[in-house]
Amino acid sequence: MFKGLSFSKVSFVGSHTDSTNTVSTVLMDFAGNPYRTYDQEEHCPWCNNKLKRPTQLTLAQKIATKLVIVVSDIQRVFSRPRANWIHLRFEKNVPEPTDAEGGKGVNSSGLLRAEQQVEPLLSAGLALVREVLK
């Protein structure tokens, strides 16, 4: 997939046990998703309207919200921790330079070859993350 790159290292950053289920999703939708983030600048991706907090919740919506919280707390006990972020490091397969090229690992201007490869590696890493998230 990444010609000329070798996988070097993986690290996991942070962890969480949050998860969802169909029952909780349906109940939160019924309750109007009162805990959604409404202070963000983005608009609704479907209708392009600004996100607004739900008005006063009905008693049924309040009960549904409380039920979701209880179900989520129970589910969290049985959920395994998962990483928040996965960092992957790839290294470019570069042949060792000869003395005519400025010595081992250094080009004629004195910059380390690794410093020159940061941009392509970032691009490759971002492409991999996009592929994984599809």
Predicted pLDDT of residue 61: 93
Same domain, 86 and 71: no
Please check whether residues 39 and 89 belong to one and the same domain: no
Residue 64: count other Cβ atoms within 10 Å of its Cβ: 20
Same domain, 12 and 24: no
The DSSP line for 2-14 is -TTEEEEEEEEEE
Domain range spanning residue 25? 18-79
Tens-digit pLDDT profile for residues 86-127:
898 888 887 665 555 555 555 444 445 544 555 666 676 667
When divided into structural domains, the chain yields a total of: 2
Higher pLDDT, 124 or 12: 12
Q: Are residues 74 and 22 in the same domain?
A: yes
DSSP annotation of 29:
H
Residues 22 and 2 occupy one common structural domain: no
129: pLDDT strictly greater than 80: no
Q: The whole model's pTM is what? A: 0.48
Q: Nearest 5°: phi and psi at 86?
A: -120, 120
Q: How many CB atoms lie within 10 A of CB 27?
A: 19
Q: Is the pLDDT of residue 43 over 70?
A: yes
